[in-house]
Structure 1
Amino acid sequence: MNIENLKQGMILKNYKELCSVLEIKPSDGNGKKSQMKELERYIKYHKEGNKFIIDEVYNEVKEKMDKRTNGNNNDLSKNLRYMILHLCHKNKLRSKVEVGYSKTFLYSYCGMINENYRDTKGNKKAFAQYLNLEQLAIEECFEYTDDRMGQALRRALSTLTNTNKALGYRYGYNYVLNSETYHMTADIDLETIIRDVENKTMKQMKMNRYDKIYNSGRWDDFKFKVINTLKNEYPLYFKDLKYYYNVIVLNYKDSSIKRTLDGFEEAFGLDFKLAKTNVNKYFSKSLDGTITRRHEKNKVLTSDNLDEKNIYRSSKNYVKEQKKAKNTIVKDKAKKVDFKALTSFDLDDENVICEQLNINNIPF
């Protein structure tokens, strides 16, 4: 759910257009109700007929009012914020005022996923074979895991920005040149160029969303076209471009980070090891709740929810299989997945992003 696309005063003609702007799939029934409930944590809106009118985009994300998980969410957010602060404090911005991190890097550094995540996401078919599960089960696991990670990270960053006043953030790009060994964060001008080229390329490919490009198997083609256009039309900046990727750009002053980090350590007794362990524990526990609720919702199937996913969610093996898959990519003590006995595979473009897991390559 990309809230960044919504602006105060925006008028969307119907629910379908709202979903397109938010970059989410339209749903119905309980699924739609859940989407709208989640949306109300980020914005205030009203309806005129089928139209959605955006009255306000909140500066601070509202917490979920769910007694089953609210305490767990607060604990997760607190420890997650500490880990982000720790990363910023460790990597002081001496010559720049901002730096971009891929979401995968942040998820890993903060402790929400283990090292199996990036390898298995790059080859879900082999992962399903490894766990002796259907590929549908693996797709299901990554769907809610990615969604919940995104929510948790946005909530933590929003609180650090609007409540703790420790940093600012935006969505942008990092890029790598053939002549360099490190990752550079695009400034606003270069970010605008990349985004414009992406939009034009998506229009040429008759695609209006990132996920549709990826799910249609055209991601490599899309990136190839964008990179070539950047090289040819903007040689001053991108003649030597190797690749680029989406990041969350953090901007901060070292003094603000240190002040807030010290406050967390004094108030909660946190350190790097404890906070990372806590993030992993609380996030894994919250996913257990998600798995259970999905199963409970679909125990009784009706004519309105007889699709493949809901039938699987209603099955007696759903909870056991999902916890097996989830634990493999989330739990910090999970056994390392070894695909060698099954098949050889190439990491897709999404995993190229994980080169950034070597933080020594990031320019500071």
Structure 2
Amino acid sequence: MDTKKFDYTDLIDMDCKNQTAKLLENYFHRMRGEYDSIVAVEEETYSEQPFFEFAEHINEKENQDIVNRTVQYVKQFILNVAMGNDFNVEVFKTYLYNLDPFFDKALAFNIATLLNEKDVFASEFDFETAWMSCGINIQKQSTQETDSKEDAPVDTSKLTIGMTVKNYKVLCELLGQEIKDGKSKKYQLENFKRYFEWEKAGQKFIIMDIYDTPLEKEDLRKLGNNSIYTQAIEVILLQYLSHQDGYTRTLTKKKWWELLSITNHKYGRMTEKELLQLDKILTSFEIRHFYQRCNKKLEQILFSALNNLKNRKLINYQIQTVIVTTDEETGKDKYFLATDDNLKSILDVERYVLHDVLGYEKIFQVFLRFKQKEYYQKINDILYDRYGWHYYFKQVKIIYVQENIQKVLPEAELNLKKQFLNEKVVSFLNENAVNEFKKQKEKYSAKYEELVNKWWGNPEDIPDSEKSELWKMPDVYVTAQRILTDELIKIGHKDLDFCEEEFIKSNSDMDEMFLFCNK
């Protein structure tokens, strides 16, 4: 009877006892028909401490014996089901009742995974081969069990980018998650960050981004100060400043981005209409969402480099506001730096438009709703009516000592070359691990098929002496090799995936952070 469409993991209740027994009983009777359960399923309350004690001592002889005896019984139970044999209820209870709660759940998940893949086994060898192919280790799974509730899959289908959620309780309801408090709430919110990004406004959650696939726990898509992006920008900036006269350099953000090769010369110059003509799949939404999606990345890259250089006392920088008006004598545009009074006037109008006109709490909501054009146009209209100003924009002024820049430049260039080399080695080793895994997997499949054919398609007839020659590389091999490569080979920020070609091109993954100028 084929029961593969049934998901055995749905039977497991993390808050109840005897889940392994419950699952195996269900499996036994699913092969036969309806039944009245004999398994006593009771709610159980357990703290984290017993589990950690069990996980810590699982390799001690006494606990190893418990694991081995129980797993051997499970194997025989499943094989007997395939043979049509009944089971002794008292023996069943002796082996499977009142197991350590965490071991019980871990074992149940192992069995469920196994039965979801295959539910009938021709022999002990067939069972053990399938069990190993699941790639699950009881000890490893049990040590992760306490995180299972915090790390339960989060359904973000009811969220949208730019959405404002009233409070934490409503957020949990939208996500289908349990409402928690204390440390449990803190861990839960950390887990939410793997699925989407938000900003807080009082008790409100404003959804900034929703990821297509959840992030790994170690990867929160943040650029560290030691990232190769930051190093590369530092070198380019130092090279540029070392060849300039004077001790200051002032450019708009767009100009800095282009100079540093973060964006190309087309950035900010192509109209939306021109961009729409690039490909029929592009829409206004795609273009606007592109800018929105890349805002934080561009900010992190640029200002991480500037702050690193500032902390080393190689530069200082200021973000200045420039106001544009009309020169009464010439009729041409006139530019001047905003004074404190000017900045106060701009701030007052910005707050009025943001809060009273558009009804938002924070500026990023303007960008999330694609309202920046409307937002700045309303501000400029009010500023023109009040003060005769056409618009304003931001620029970054860098102050530096050229002699200091020239001294550190050679070392910075050398470090960057080392980083590029290290990334090449890491990439090669990771690719090599993937290829090795594929080769060993093909070798195992060929050997297994050869043995089965040799013994006329009956795996149970294969002698133990020949079975011992059959070895399968662990399914977690590639992941394990990556972990070791990150820890022992990779230099710098180990959570950052860097692509040299993408950085050099800098055409498709970086975009404007601040849209201050509304020309």
Q: Which has the higher contact order (CA 8 A, sep 6+)?
A: 1
TM-score, normalization by structure 2: 0.35
TM-score, normalization by structure 1: 0.47
Larger radius of gyration: 2
